[in-house]
Amino acid sequence: MKDLGAIAVFVLLVGLIPFCTDSGVTLNFVMTALYACLLSQAWNVLGGFGGQFSFGHALFFGTGAYAQAIVQMQWGLNPWLALPLAMVFSAVVGALVGGASFRYGLKGSYFALVTLACAEVFRIVAVTVPFTGAGVGLMLPLRESAASMQFGSRAGFVWLMLGLVALALLVTSWLKHSRFGAYLQAVRDNEDAARAIGVNPFRVKLAATVVSAALMGAGGAFYVQVFQYIDPGIAFGPHTSVEALVGAIVGGLGTLWGPVLGAVCLHILADLTRNLFGALPGINMVIYGSVLILIVMLLPSGVAGLGRYNPLRRKSTKVPPE
Amino acid sequence: MHSTRRHFMGQSAAAASALAFPLVGGAQPATIKIGVLHPVTGALAYSGQQCRLGALMALEDINKAGGIKSLGGAKLEALLGDAQSNPQAGTAEIEKMNEAGVSAVVGAFASAICLATTQAAAKYNLPHVVDVGVADQIVERGLKNTFRFGPGYKKCAEVAVANLHVLNTAAGKPARTVMIVHEESLFGTGTANLLSRELPGYGYDVKEVIKHANPTRDFNNIALRIKQVNPDILIPANYYNEYALLVRTLQQQKVTPKAIFSVLGGAASSYKFVKEFPDAANGIIDCNHWFNPKDKRSAELRKRVEAQGQFFSYEVFMSYTAMKLLADAIDRAKSTDRAAIIEALGKSTFSDHIMPYGPTQFVNGQNMGAQPLMTQVSKGDIKVIIPRDYREAEPVFPMKA
Amino acid sequence: MLDFDILFPSVLNGITTGAVYALIALGLTLIYGVLHIINFAHGAALMVALYGVFFLKEKLGIDPYWALPIMVPAMFVLGYALQRVVINRASHGKDENILLVTLGISIVLENLALILFHSDTRTIETAYTLQTVAIGPAMIALPKLVAFAGALVTSGLLLLVVQKTDLGRAIRAVSKEKQGARLMGIDVDHVYAMCYGLGLVCLGAAACFLLPAYYVNPQVGSGFVLVAFTIVVLGGMGSFSGALLGGLLIGVVESVGGLLLGESLGQIGIFVIFIAVLLLRPQGIFGARA
């Protein structure tokens, strides 16, 4: 299939980067760009393909991060075993939150807000209970080696994250071409019609939430391995939730490469602006915010929708908000 | 702030022109690049900007006094970085600074960011002087490149408890019950845990520990609780905004414990707070980072900072002295080689500074001489009360009988 | 622990704090109820309003309560312009785009404030900042009582506008049936912009009542956003009385929750209610529109 080929090429090209350069700056950039891709891809599964916008995806991120830390530090497991476990924990949380939300028929903004609230509840709980370290957070002890998933050079992390991004790409590709994916998109486009043709919207949306959560949890686990510190604010705060959805929307909802493109573009933008006018802090973020607005203004279907963008049609598409 | 920027530009121009003149000995660079990394945007913007101010002023002073003498008067050049109040951005900046060829880094104020940046710098054996970051884990991980000039919160808590006991005993032991109000994240929780452990050993009854969020929008409830519990001593450990709001609320609700004794209190030894709320601040005792009041240069530095329209807050002088420590090490290393600087830092006995630390001595990256001072607000100014060597005023304890 | 002497002041504190929350939520619920957009820029707009009130006091000596007649039209103009010029143009009618645009606006506003006004926290001093009024065993801060009265008056006025004026009729028409309203000759874009403007007007009022008891810095808005969302959902999206009563209720829950569970864990009460309402009665306590 065309998509699988493209994914393979992507993996190959990015995988070769650590062989072509020793530059810490480049490798760190690639690593964090891939990390942003994973977050956006995870969000896209539920948001883009499922049409359920979550404002609290940090919920799954934080669960994965804490799980990775706790499983290693308190259960003594190897981090390579902890990673899939972290994804499982996130998936379970996804099932619970998704299950409750969809069982009660939450849609649209209501669903978005309930995920936001759940993330905040988890944050407050994490600040309170001792096994998360409460407000102090958890620090992963420094143990540099491939076996303990703390690579000396960023290259190791680049490949690890590339693997996860490839997984997410494969999952997204499967969503594009499989029957399940078709059901999911049908539910997204018109839930009642989908039900009428025999699709079970609840089960479909729940499954999408579980998958989305698992991928997001992988991102959280990865974060802990790289930065070795997690606290309730980093884990469940709005920063990560926003990062996930921004990349997906800017890139193009419900597409295979959209989240990747969006995350990478925004990452480049953030990096370029960070040290512009370094002596006057804040200008960089003003530029970032303005460019974000401009991107939305000029590319309403996202970066991936560039191919579909027809400047001649702009005048007539001035449709007011639904 | 603006004049610092202009001044810094001026220094850069001077440094650039120095490039035109080869130095005797040939192989030395004309400017030495130092990474100055702080969270100047985001939630920690104020502290980050104050830190940057201190670091740049120190750089300016060092260059004005002739630069690094052992390297032919080579000037220091700052490479500014924005940690954006999160560890990810901090790490990315370290990578950039490393590749730009900095010889060392000074930063990054917040403990969570320092944890990440010191580790990232360690990969390149890049010396990293921690200017504030009070979490003890920063210097307990065995990273050879990390040096913290100031005290961690364990030391601050120990000093605070010991001195509380001294004050209380000297006053005839009027105080026995204690209530702790702390912010919910790393430094507040860590400090509160330590205090709760140490205080009973000295015979104090910790009646209640209240944890609050950042930000807390209203302290009336907590004020009510304090009124109800009626502790002899209230111990707050939080950031500036919450500390200020708490104390103002106490004033408004007419809740007056015998003493407000802060440990790393966000506003307790802050000139800004004292200036804006002199009544609420009066009598508050703090155990916090402070400069040596007997060193005339402290007052001079304070005047210069205030002339720029900024407050002489702890971030400024902590960062200032961290930069000075680094410059001294580079001078003794006689080289800009990172390993040489790390070695020089490790052996540092730097004593020509305005902090009350005496001669420097690093053990595992922590300066053993580092200590907080006890200050008290009186008559609209902040005076050191303990230890005696630095005392500027007699302590008033308790504030209320 | 729960004796009357402590519970009563706590509840009163909650009500007065909740009044300010209600004002903030009023704007949000109007914007959501009519434009159906979740206004990510709400916190940043509150911050802008607070700075406005601050500088009016600091530079011109205008007391925050006297600043109301200045802040209200100023915020209205800002809101109208933002919606008409930026949000409407940029979003092309897609929900997800509106989300990003309001997010972008909040980033720009917050960092413009950082550049222009710097990062330090600012407070104002007035003659009445420290005054309290004794109500039974409680000593309630005077600014908070004024805020409570202000919130009631503002929501009353807003209700009047929506029920009795032509603009109000247009707003109700547009929110119920947009195409039909357009067919009747209502300029929908204009009504949307008026709505957004009115939403920010509530923030202007909230800022006047909030600043005497609080402070302002570039990040101050973000602390109120989640609470505001909770109230909007609790009260019913688009319901003013819902926002008002919801705000008061949340204020009390936060206060009593803090008393019972501790200030940090007590915050959980707000969100548990939020989730419960969303699951069990998503139209909110007073929502007629589901």
pLDDT at residue B29 in the model: 53
Q: How far apart are the CA of B113 and the nearest CA of chain A, in angstroms?
A: 9
3-state secondary structure A84-98: HHHHHHHHHHHHHHH
> Least CB-CB distance to B45: which of C132, C218, C263?
C218
Percent of chain A scoring above 90 in pLDDT: 67
H or E stretch covering C135 = strand C132-135
Both tokens of C165, joined, read 């004026």
Both tokens of B72, joined, read 């032919």
Mark yes or no for CB contact A104/C279 under 8 Å.
yes
pLDDT at residue A187 in the model: 93
Q: Which domain holds residue B52?
A: 29-150+295-370
**Subunits with 3+ C-beta pairs closer than 8 A to C:** A, B
Q: What is the mean pLDDT of residues B153-162?
A: 92
**Judgement on whether residues B383 and B239 belong to the same structural domain of the protein:** yes
Q: What is the mean pLDDT of residues B66-91?
A: 92
**Judgement on whether residues B232 and B248 belong to the same structural domain of the protein:** yes
Would you say residue B21 has pLDDT above 80?
no
Asked if residue B15 is part of any domain, the answer here is no
**Judgement on whether residues B239 and B383 belong to the same structural domain of the protein:** yes
Q: What is the mean pLDDT of residues B15-33?
A: 51
pLDDT digits (tens, 9 = 90+) for B278-329: 988 999 999 999 999 999 999 999 999 999 999 999 999 999 999 999 999 9
Asked if residue B256 is part of any domain, the answer here is yes
Q: What is the mean pLDDT of residues C245-252?
A: 93
CATH number at residue B111: 3.40.50.2300
**Judgement on whether residues B82 and B45 belong to the same structural domain of the protein:** yes
Burial of A193 per CB tally in 10 Å (0-12, 13-18, 19+): exposed
Alpha carbons C106 and C113: distance in angstroms, whole number: 11
Mark yes or no for CB contact A53/C96 under 8 Å.
yes
The confidence band for B162, taking pLDDT boundaries of 50, 70 and 90, is very high
User: What is the ipTM score, two decimals?
Assistant: 0.87
Domains of chain A: 31-306 (1.10.3470)
**Subunits with 3+ C-beta pairs closer than 8 A to A:** B, C
Q: Is the separation of the CB atoms in A67 and A85 below 8 Å?
A: yes
Would you say residue A131 has pLDDT above 60?
yes
CB contact C289 to A (< 8 Å): no
Alpha carbons A133 and C153: distance in angstroms, whole number: 46
Q: What is the mean pLDDT of residues B108-132?
A: 94
Mark yes or no for CB contact B92/A135 under 8 Å.
no
3-state secondary structure chain B: CHHHHHHHHHHHHHHHHHCCCCCCCCCCCCEEEEEEEECCCCCCHHHHHHHHHHHHHHHHHHHHCCCEHHHCCEEEEEEEEECCCCHHHHHHHHHHHHHCCCCEEEECCCHHHHHHHHHHHHCCCCCEEECCCCCHHHHCCCCCCEEECCCCHHHHHHHHHHHHHHHHHHCCCCCCEEEEEEECCHHHHHHHHHHHHHHHHHCCEEEEEEEECCCCCCCHHHHHHHHHHCCCEEEEECCHHHHHHHHHHHHHCCCCCCEEEEECCCCCCCHHHHHHCHHHHCCCEEEECCCCCCCHHHHHHHHHHHHCCCCCCHHHHHHHHHHHHHHHHHHHHCCCCHHHHHHHHHCCCCCCCCCCCCCCCEECCEECCCCCEEEEEECCEEEEEECHHHCCCCCCCCCCC
Compute CA distances A162 → A8, A36, B361, whole Å. Answer: 11, 11, 45
pTM: 0.89
Across chain B, what does the average pLDDT equal?
89
pLDDT at residue C36 in the model: 81
Beta bridge partners of B77: B33
Alpha carbons A224 and A63: distance in angstroms, whole number: 11
Mean pLDDT highest for which of A66-70, B273-277, C90-94, C234-238?
Answer: A66-70
pLDDT at residue B22 in the model: 34
Q: What is the mean pLDDT of residues B247-276?
A: 90
- Total structural domains in chain B? 2
**Residue carrying structure tokens 């590709």:** A173
Would you say residue B16 has pLDDT above 80?
no
Which is higher by pLDDT, A152 or A217?
A: A217
Across chain A, what does the average pLDDT equal?
89
Mark yes or no for CB contact C103/A104 under 8 Å.
no
**Judgement on whether residues B59 and B136 belong to the same structural domain of the protein:** yes
Alpha carbons A304 and A313: distance in angstroms, whole number: 18
Q: How far apart are the CA of C157 and the nearest CA of chain B, in angstroms?
A: 26
Would you say residue C290 has pLDDT above 50?
no
pLDDT at residue C175 in the model: 79
The contacts of residue A141 (CB under 8 Å, 6+ apart) are A73, B141
pLDDT digits (tens, 9 = 90+) for B367-376: 999 999 999 9
**Judgement on whether residues B271 and B315 belong to the same structural domain of the protein:** no
Both tokens of A311, joined, read 């400047």
pLDDT at residue A281 in the model: 81
Q: How far apart are the CA of B112 and the nearest CA of chain A, in angstroms?
A: 7
Mark yes or no for CB contact C89/A114 under 8 Å.
no
The confidence band for C1, taking pLDDT boundaries of 50, 70 and 90, is low
The contacts of residue B34 (CB under 8 Å, 6+ apart) are B59, B76, B77, B78, B79, B102, B103, B104, B105, B106, B323, B326
Burial of C29 per CB tally in 10 Å (0-12, 13-18, 19+): buried
Both tokens of A96, joined, read 């619970």
Q: What is the mean pLDDT of residues C233-245?
A: 87
**Judgement on whether residues B119 and B201 belong to the same structural domain of the protein:** no
**Judgement on whether residues B112 and B195 belong to the same structural domain of the protein:** no
> Least CB-CB distance to C263: which of B212, B245, B276?
B212
**Judgement on whether residues B362 and B266 belong to the same structural domain of the protein:** no
pLDDT at residue A175 in the model: 93
Domain ranges of chain C: 20-217
Q: What torsion, rounded to 10 degrees, do the Cα atoms B162, B165, B169, B170 define?
A: 60
**Judgement on whether residues B171 and B267 belong to the same structural domain of the protein:** yes
pLDDT at residue A61 in the model: 97
**Judgement on whether residues B380 and B233 belong to the same structural domain of the protein:** yes
Alpha carbons B191 and B269: distance in angstroms, whole number: 17
The confidence band for C129, taking pLDDT boundaries of 50, 70 and 90, is confident
Would you say residue A152 has pLDDT above 90?
no
H or E stretch covering A299 = none
Would you say residue C91 has pLDDT above 90?
no
**Judgement on whether residues B199 and B229 belong to the same structural domain of the protein:** yes
Across chain C, what does the average pLDDT equal?
88
pLDDT digits (tens, 9 = 90+) for B324-354: 999 999 999 999 999 999 999 999 999 999 9
pLDDT at residue C97 in the model: 84
Burial of C200 per CB tally in 10 Å (0-12, 13-18, 19+): buried
Mark yes or no for CB contact A293/C272 under 8 Å.
no
The contacts of residue B128 (CB under 8 Å, 6+ apart) are B104, B105, B106, B107, B117, B118, B121, B122, B145, B146, B147
Asked if residue B247 is part of any domain, the answer here is yes
Asked if residue B346 is part of any domain, the answer here is yes
